[in-house]
């Protein structure tokens, strides 16, 4: 049984592993080193502190029982030694010693270890642009920054802000500033859509529309080139395309794993700078473990080394490592990439690969989307959810799922159900068609949307109809004079006629009437069909096919998807 356990990093994974060690082996000497003053805080809560939804910074440092997790707490309650403001300088692997420096006294010291854990986390990726050190330029990883930003908002010192990066943290910050403080926010994202890597462009368009319709400007495919200052404080940002005035800049452009300590000690480090670990969370040195934001674990779907810096991953890995540090043999299976984010009117969730990330990993991937109510259609409370299933065309293997909807909890329920299968099974489309999610009218439809999206996917894979994303449908509509496409709105007449009245090229032919009115549909032109949610259009395709009209595409998610994207045929 190891006597001396040394842990570098005291935010999420380090303390978790430390406590687990002590529970299993009360006699072990466990020491946590951290170079900062605050330890063991919920960094994921920072946007909610900025917004004011979380009252006090202590709430982010407290247990659910309102005890603040400071060094004294760990000493008296957990028998764990915590040394803050102490920097780990280097590892002597042969002698099994860690050289540390007390940042207050400047004194250096060699600490012996039997097992060492690197929980060094990650630092925000800040592009090397001029002005990045100006006052008013922040990242959202430190409690101190959160405090400063919130105070500035409360004092009315921030009327305009620029957020660099349209990922999870960037958008959470945008919501916090715009929704709660009325700040005019611009999000600048280098990629061609928001939440790159997490969402496909069509779903990202819904996220963009949700931001824009709440006053947040979104600039994609655009890079910040300079931060502008006046008297040492930020006063604006220039991108490749424009100048944005602001009093606050937040960098939320991803993370760089803190792996210098590992690299300098000769441990393996991936090309993207993280420390790869095996399924026991062990580095290339059997006495050194790593986990959380500094480590690389296996992507279960692609089988490749990957990176998922999330507090929940750190917590779960911390328990596994804690077990192993004191001689246990727990394993961590890797990750599939499950996430959730709440924006303004919509929430977004996903698990596994997007079409784009699946193609990068050499899968022959397609994505199929539907919109459907999240409960029985006759139940009074309900909302319209969109789900998109990503599958391998070759064998129908499910690679990922993403979705959007006003009710984040019901959306997350569907995504989490598939996430578990991605983690522990290799689900096929048929497995999701038959997925036994709980049913009662207040909670789900008898044919739940998670089953329905798989059913539609099966029909697409079998070539029974040809889907297009709602935004691609819209592009066809806009270019209708060039492409000569004939448009059919298969919704009930009242809905379709309202559009037709303004746009004569928009043909309202309700599903029930297609057969009888088939003479109105040209046989020599491509046809594009839309209904309310995409579920009904399949029947329309069948009726058209029976009548010899076979060159038909079908808008996935229908008018509901268009609406969430802010697109309108009128």
**Residue placing its CB nearer to its own copies in the complex, 73 or 138:** 73
**Residue 373 Cβ, how far from its own copies at the closest point, in Å?**
7
**Residue placing its CB nearer to its own copies in the complex, 104 or 545:** 545
Burial of 224 per CB tally in 10 Å (0-12, 13-18, 19+): buried
Contacting range for its own copies; rule: CB under 8 A; set: 147-155, 204-212, 232-240, 535-543: 535-543
Q: Indicate whether 542 belongs to the interface with its own copies (CB under 8 A).
A: yes
CA 148 to CA 145: how far, in whole Å?
5
Among residues 31, 141, 451, 560, which is the contact residue for its own copies, using CB under 8 A?
451
Q: Indicate whether 204 belongs to the interface with its own copies (CB under 8 A).
A: no
Q: Indicate whether 192 belongs to the interface with its own copies (CB under 8 A).
A: no
Site for its own copies in 266-325 (CB under 8 A): 310-316, 319-320
DSSP 356-375: HHHHHTT--EEEEEEEEESS
Among residues 68, 376, 493, 498, which is the contact residue for its own copies, using CB under 8 A?
376
Contacting range for its own copies; rule: CB under 8 A; set: 64-72, 100-108, 130-138, 479-487: 64-72
**Residue 406 Cβ, how far from its own copies at the closest point, in Å?**
13
Q: Indicate whether 526 belongs to the interface with its own copies (CB under 8 A).
A: no
**Residue placing its CB nearer to its own copies in the complex, 42 or 569:** 42
Q: Contact at 8 Å (CB) between 568 and 560?
A: no
Among residues 539, 547, 551, 563, which is the contact residue for its own copies, using CB under 8 A?
539
CA 475 to CA 473: how far, in whole Å?
5
How many Cβ atoms from other residues are within 10 Å of residue 130's Cβ? 12
Site for its own copies in 390-429 (CB under 8 A): 407-410, 412-421, 423-425, 427
Q: How many distinct helices (H) and strands (E) make up the chain?
A: 19, 31
**Residue 326 Cβ, how far from its own copies at the closest point, in Å?**
13
**Residue 432 Cβ, how far from its own copies at the closest point, in Å?**
9
User: Which helix (H) or strand (E) segment is 42 a member of?
Assistant: none
Strand partners, 117: 7, 289
Q: Indicate whether 69 belongs to the interface with its own copies (CB under 8 A).
A: no
Among residues 38, 48, 113, 181, which is the contact residue for its own copies, using CB under 8 A?
48
Main-chain dihedrals φ then ψ at residue 530, nearest 5 degrees = -135, 145
Max alpha carbon distance in the chain (Å)? 89
**Residue placing its CB nearer to its own copies in the complex, 380 or 504:** 380
DSSP 275-305: EE--TT-B-SSTTEEE-GGGEEEEBTTT-SE
Q: Contact at 8 Å (CB) between 87 and 101?
A: yes
**Residue 518 Cβ, how far from its own copies at the closest point, in Å?**
14
């Amino acid at each position: 049984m190891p006597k001396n356990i040394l842990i570098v990093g005291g935010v999420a994974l380090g303390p978790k592993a430390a406590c687990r060690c002590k529970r299993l082996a009360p006699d072990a000497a466990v020491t946590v080193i951290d170079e900062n003053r605050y330890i063991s805080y919920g960094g994921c809560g920072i946007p909610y502190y900025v917004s004011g939804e979380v009252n006090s910074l202590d709430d982010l440092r407290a247990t659910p029982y309102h005890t603040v997790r400071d060094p004294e707490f760990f000493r008296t309650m957990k028998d764990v030694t915590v040394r803050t403001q102490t920097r780990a300088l280097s590892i002597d692997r042969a002698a099994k010693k860690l050289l540390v420096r007390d940042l207050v006294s400047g004194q250096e010291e060699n600490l012996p270890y039997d097992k060492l854990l690197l929980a060094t986390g990650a630092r925000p990726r800040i592009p090397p642009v001029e002005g990045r050190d100006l006052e008013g330029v922040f990242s959202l990883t430190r409690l101190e920054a959160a405090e400063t930003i919130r105070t500035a908002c409360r004092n009315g010192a921030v009327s305009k802000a620029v957020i660099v990066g349209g990922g999870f943290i960037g958008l959470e910050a945008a919501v916090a500033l715009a929704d709660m403080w009325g700040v005019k926010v611009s999000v600048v994202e280098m990629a061609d859509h928001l939440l790159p890597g997490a969402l496909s462009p069509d779903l990202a368009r819904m996220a963009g529309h949700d931001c824009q319709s709440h006053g947040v400007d979104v600039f994609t495919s655009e890079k910040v080139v300079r931060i502008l200052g006046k008297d040492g404080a930020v006063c604006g940002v220039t991108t490749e395309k424009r100048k944005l005035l602001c009093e606050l800049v937040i960098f939320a452009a991803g993370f760089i794993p803190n792996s210098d300590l590992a690299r300098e000690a000769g441990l393996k480090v991936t090309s993207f700078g993280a420390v790869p670990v095996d399924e026991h969370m062990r580095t290339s040195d059997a006495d050194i473990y790593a986990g959380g934001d500094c480590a690389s674990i296996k992507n279960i779907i692609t089988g490749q080394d990957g990176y998922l810096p999330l507090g929940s991953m750190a917590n779960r890995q911390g328990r596994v490592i804690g077990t192993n540090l004191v001689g246990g043999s727990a394993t961590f299976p890797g990750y599939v990439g499950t996430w959730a984010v709440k924006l303004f009117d919509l929430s977004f969730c996903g698990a596994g690969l997007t079409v784009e990330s699946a193609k990068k990993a050499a899968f022959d991937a397609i994505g199929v989307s539907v919109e459907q109510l999240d409960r029985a259609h006759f139940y009074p409370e309900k909302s319209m959810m969109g789900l998109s299933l990503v599958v391998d065309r070759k064998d129908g293997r499910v690679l990922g799922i993403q979705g959007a909807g006003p009710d984040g909890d019901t959306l997350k329920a569907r995504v989490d159900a598939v996430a578990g299968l991605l983690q522990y099974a290799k689900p096929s489309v048929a497995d999701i068609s038959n997925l036994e999610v709980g049913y009662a009218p207040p909670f789900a439809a008898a044919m739940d949307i998670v089953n329905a999206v798989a059913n539609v996917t099966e029909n697409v894979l079998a070539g029974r109809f040809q889907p297009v994303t709602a935004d691609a449908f819209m592009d066809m509509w806009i270019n209708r004079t060039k492409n000569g496409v004939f448009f059919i709105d298969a919704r009930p007449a009242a809905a379709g006629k309202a559009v037709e009245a303004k746009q004569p090229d928009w043909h309202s032919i309700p599903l029930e009437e297609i057969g009888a009115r088939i003479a109105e549909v040209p046989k020599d032109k491509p046809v594009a069909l839309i209904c309310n949610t995409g579920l009904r259009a399949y029947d329309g395709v069948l009726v058209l096919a029976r009548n010899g009209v076979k060159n038909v595409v079908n808008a996935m998610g229908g008018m509901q998807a268009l609406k969430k994207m802010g697109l309108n045929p009128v």
